[in-house]
Amino acid sequence: MNVLIFNSNNLILYNKMQEFDVTVIGSGPGGYTAAIRASQLGFKTAIIERDRLGGVCLNWGCIPTKALLKSAELQNKVGHLKEYGISVDNANFDFPGIIKRSRGVADTSEKGVRFLMKKNKITVIEGTAKFNKDKTINVTAKDGKTETVKSKHTIIATGARARTLGDLKFDEEKIWSSTGAMIAKELPKKMTIVGSGAIGCEFAYFYNAFGTEITIIEMMPTILPVEDKEISDVVAREFKKSGVKIYTETKTESIQVKGDKVITKISGKTSEEIESDVVLVAIGIKANIENLGLEDIGVKVFKDRINTDSNYKTNVEGIYAIGDVSCTNETIKPALAHVASAEAVNCVEKIKGHHSPDIEYSNVPGNTYCQPQVGSVGLTEAKAKEAGYELKVGKFPFSANGKSRAAGETVGMVKLIFDAKYGELLGAHIVGNEATELITELVAVKSLEGTGESIIRTIHPHPSLSESVLEAAGVAYGEAINI
């Protein structure tokens, strides 16, 4: 705590500050990972958090949403149990109970991070951080009390929040961000989702599973627009089978609350007004750079992100930034929790003076956890062609995989894209059951500059879903056995 020394006129003579080697602002996956690695490397470390340890990911994002999606997956399974020779009478769901379980998972995760801070002897300072001109940090607690921190190295890991549509405000009752979608008190009958990235598609799947009528509005030609088109098309087809309405190449002109309904006006292939009970806006993120005092210390910003070099250094000595709040050399990186965690370790090790190779962002996997799941890494087929590669492409459907048939999960495929000249894996795309787990093998192959031959010569267990990876490589090189 600060120690304030006053003279007889009640003027502060000096303020004794807490001093650290490394201070991290923000405790999401990037922040708490940075703090732990710093402590492991012998730095006296502090972490500053204004809300809950674990940040958005553990409390309002990655983890609690997966708890919701597991409930949706089970709900869908109940409707198909007869196919497995199982009968269940009077099966029902408890929507508030589903939300409660998700929040319980988040609470447990937050406690886990708090334990890790204690275990690693990291000082946790609760409050809102703001830089002073001398690069010290004022931390204001919720009760208004302020303390000051001095640090040799400060890592900004404040993450991002949901981006709004124009001047629209989230009220989390009728106009939802992902936060509102996670804590709904009751199940809406009709829901419009603006944006069909991972967040939009995951919540579309979740609410559709429990009977909400879903309409998705997407400006791009396909949903999940960053994915390979063949992969996105599989998700769109399965969504439509479940009754989800999808408008692509469509612009959202306005969203207005009228009474107990929300009216979304759209234009594009069709111009109309869509009435629903709630609207979820899932059009991306905005970095949390406001009110940090960045302008007072002269930190440069590029397109609402803190600009750094490949060592995560800003233009101000001793100040670093990682994760969603940052960009590298004016290049926007994937806004993913695992990117932030990897950058955290890389940043701290470089501060320590270790030789840590720069992260290869083209080897970062992306996952979407709706059903069917999507996992991908590297170039799509279209992007590979644009880059001038001559390609070998192998596709293998899960319907031809024995383990998939046994599990009754035959939707989707593995698609692999190789450089025809050297055989190197350029991109891997999976849609279907456990795609988010299967992609890791291909991330490793790509990171090691592996080839189709190396996949084909790797013995895969039988029966397994991973055999579809082997077979897709075989298709590309004319060596497939089971198709």
Spatial separation of the C-alpha atoms in residues 281 and 289, rounded to whole Å: 21
Contact in structure between 174 and 186 (CB atoms under 8 Å)? no
Helix (H, G, I), strand (E, B) or coil at 326: strand
Contacts made by residues 165-172, CB under 8 angstroms, sequence distance 24+: 165/194, 165/252, 165/255, 165/281, 165/283, 168/255, 168/281, 170/281
Which listed residue (153, 429, 460, 462) is catalytic?
A: 462
> If you count them, how many residues does the chain have?
483
Would you call 462 a catalytic residue per the annotation?
yes
Strands 213-217 and 160-162: unpaired
C-alpha R_g of the chain: 25
Q: Alpha-carbon torsion 188, 191, 193, 196, what sign?
A: positive
Instruction: Give which of 161, 174, 159, 234 is closest to 414, Cα–Cα.
Output: 234
Q: Are 424 and 370 in contact (CB under 8 A)?
A: no
> 3-state secondary structure string, 53-90?
CCHHHHHHCHHHHHHHHHHHHHHHHHCCHHHHCCCCCC
Q: Which of 196, 158, 162, 199 is nearest to 324 (CA)?
A: 158
Sequence-separated (6 or more) residues with CB below 8 Å from residue 23: 45, 46, 47, 48, 137, 149, 151, 153, 154, 155
Rounded-to-integer distance, Cα 285 and Cα 419, Å: 34
- With a CB cutoff of 8 Å and minimum separation 6, the contacts of 97 are none
| Residues 215 and 193: beta-carbon distance below 8 Å | yes
Q: For residue 404, what are its two tokens?
A: 């998939």
Residues 6+ apart with CB under 8 A from 371: 69, 72, 73, 76, 205, 238, 433
From start to end of 98-202, where are the E strands? 123-126, 128-131, 137-140, 146-156, 160-162, 175-176, 190-194
Catalytic site positions:
462
